[in-house]
Each structure stands twice: as C-alpha cells, then as structure tokens.
Structure 1
C-alpha cells in the first residue's frame, strides 16, 4: 500500500514538473499567440509581466508617425515609412516619399499640430488598417483668424519581417456643413 502511494505521489510530481517546464518564462503555453510578452522587474526585484498587443504597437507607431510628421522629422519618418509609401492628401493630390520630402524642404511653413483619433484598428496577417479622424487648427495670418479642419483618414501598415511600416495613407477633409 505504501509503495502504491509513493508511486502515485511520484507520478503527480513528475506531471507537475513537466507542466511547468512546458510553459514559457512568462507562463504562456502558446508561443504563436498574437500578443507580445515582455519581462520586466521593479526595484524590489519582483518580476512583472507587461502584455503588449499588436493593436497597442500599431497605435504607438501611428502616434510616432503623427508627431514626426508635425516636426518634419525625416529620420524618424524614414524608419516608419515604407520606401514605397503612397499618400492621397486631403487636397486630392497623390504623393510619394520623395514628393513629401521635397515639400518639406521647399516650405518653411510649419505643419500645424493635429490630433489623430483612432476609431478602429484591424489586423489581418501582415496588414494593419487604422481608421479614424483628425482635427487641426490652422491660422491665417492675413485674415487674423483660425480655422478648424476636420478630416477622415485611413493608414495602412504592413509588417516587413518583424517591423511595421506605413505603406499607404488616405485623408479627406470633412465639410463643415
């Protein structure tokens, strides 16, 4: 009887040991999950797991792109934009990266800050589609007044290896009426 109990306890310990060894360091059994896991530690050396989804990553990249565009930061934009980026601007012109950089260098006018409100992010394999609206306030120095501009946008991000790049953008001004 004691022998059977010892064998039973041994089998439970072996099964439990196998269960823990099959998990990742973060305790996730499925390594193919679309969730990125980062291990961090606070000052007390207690491990804390931060879960960052692809939606969070795209939202962050989209905001970085918006900030870099406002600052005309071509170094950051080169990192975020696909070399084949194509943009349909609110003025109905179609631009490439070289057109946009050319516009940056020609114009000393600053780009007005604008808010980008993301309403939906959809990810299908290596393509992320971001849709929402943007609000900007521009000032007309000649008329001494400000104008509120609202527009709808769609940004298309494509995953190249492990990096997301903005591949296409379309923006349309919304009429005040």
Structure 2
C-alpha cells in the first residue's frame, strides 16, 4: 500500500508535485524533491527555460517510444505540444542516495493525450539519475518505458 503525502508535507518537506506518492520508508532529498516540483510545473507549462534549470546540459532519456533523446530533443517535442498528459501521478518506490549521485525509481501513471498510449491510462516505470553538479543537483538521465495500458 502506497502512502500519499499530504499537500502541506509536499510543500514544506520535499516540494514534490501534489500527485506524487512515496512508498513507506522512502525519503526524498529536499533539493531533488523541489526540483521535481519545478520540473512538473515547467513541463505542464511547456516552459523550456524551467526544464533546462532542472535537466543537465548532457541529459539523456530513453523515451517511452524507445528512442534515446537529448535534452534539447525532448524540449523540442515538448514545445510542439507532444508531451501533454491528464491525470498524471508519480509513484516513487526507491531513492538511493550517494554523495554525488542519487537514483530515483518508481512508476508514473497517466493518460497521454498524444503519442504512445494516447487516450488510455498507462503505467510507465522510470529510473531517474541525479548528479551533484557545481550549480546543484541536476537530472542527467532518465529511462521511461510504457509497461501497461488499459
């Protein structure tokens, strides 16, 4: 059973999006939680500068359509309105912290409005790799593949 974090805890402890859930016993580092919150807002607003403030310049993603994309390729897709979702929820099941790298694993559930799984609720397992850089924690890599659609 997953524990849903209340809005007050989200805003003051981790700043994760209100739709985020942490598995029992999982602790999100505050700076990374805040970055997830900023990233979610930027993605929903199609705000390229906001996305760039979280993703490292050398960010790569193994995308749901099984292509490896760079930061700028994903931002181009976002700016063309191809990354629109409704009922997006992030379920975090593991956070592994090291001094210079943090790995966050879990799954997203959402209904994509375009692209793979459009119009259907999908489950997308993910692995995010965060690296400590001179300007703070930056997301450097993401794997996200659609595992199931209703």
Q: Give, in angstroms, the shift of residue 117 of structure 1.
A: 1.5
Q: Give, in angstroms, the shift of residue 109 of structure 1.
A: 4.8
Q: Give, in angstroms, the shift of residue 59 of structure 1.
A: 2.1
Alignment coverage as a number of residue pairs: 123
Distance 1:97-1:153 versus aligned 2 partners, 3 A rule: same
Indicate the larger mover: 94-103 or 83-92: 94-103
**Cα deviation per residue 1:96-150 (whole Å; 9 max; x = unaligned)?**
0121122234x2456114211111111111101111110112358xxxx941011
Q: Distance in 1 between matches of 2:52 and 2:130?
A: 14
1:86 aligns with 2:97: no
What TM-score do the two structures reach when normalised by structure 2?
Answer: 0.70
**Cα deviation per residue 1:58-91 (whole Å; 9 max; x = unaligned)?**
2221232233222211111111110000000011
More relative contact order, 1 or 2 (CA 8 Å, 6+ apart): 2
Runs of 4+ in structure 1 off by over 6 angstroms are 50-54
> What residue is the counterpart of 1:102 in the other structure?
76
1:138 aligns with 2:137: no
> What residue is the counterpart of 1:76 in the other structure?
50
Distance 1:137-1:166 versus aligned 2 partners, 3 A rule: same
Specify which of 131, 135, 145 is matched with residue 158 of structure 1.
Answer: 131
What TM-score do the two structures reach when normalised by structure 1?
Answer: 0.60
Specify which of 112, 134, 140 is matched with residue 167 of structure 1.
Answer: 140
Given that residues 13 and 30 in structure 2 are in contact (C-alpha distance below 8 angstroms), is that contact kept between their aligned partners in structure 1? no
Distance 1:109-1:96 versus aligned 2 partners, 3 A rule: closer
> What residue is the counterpart of 1:60 in the other structure?
34
Indicate the larger mover: 152-161 or 58-67: 58-67
Computing the radius of gyration from Cα coordinates, the structure with the larger value is 1
Specify which of 115, 127, 135 is matched with residue 101 of structure 2.
Answer: 127
Given that residues 112 and 136 in structure 1 are in contact (C-alpha distance below 8 angstroms), is that contact kept between their aligned partners in structure 2? yes
Q: Give, in angstroms, the shift of residue 92 of structure 1.
A: 0.3
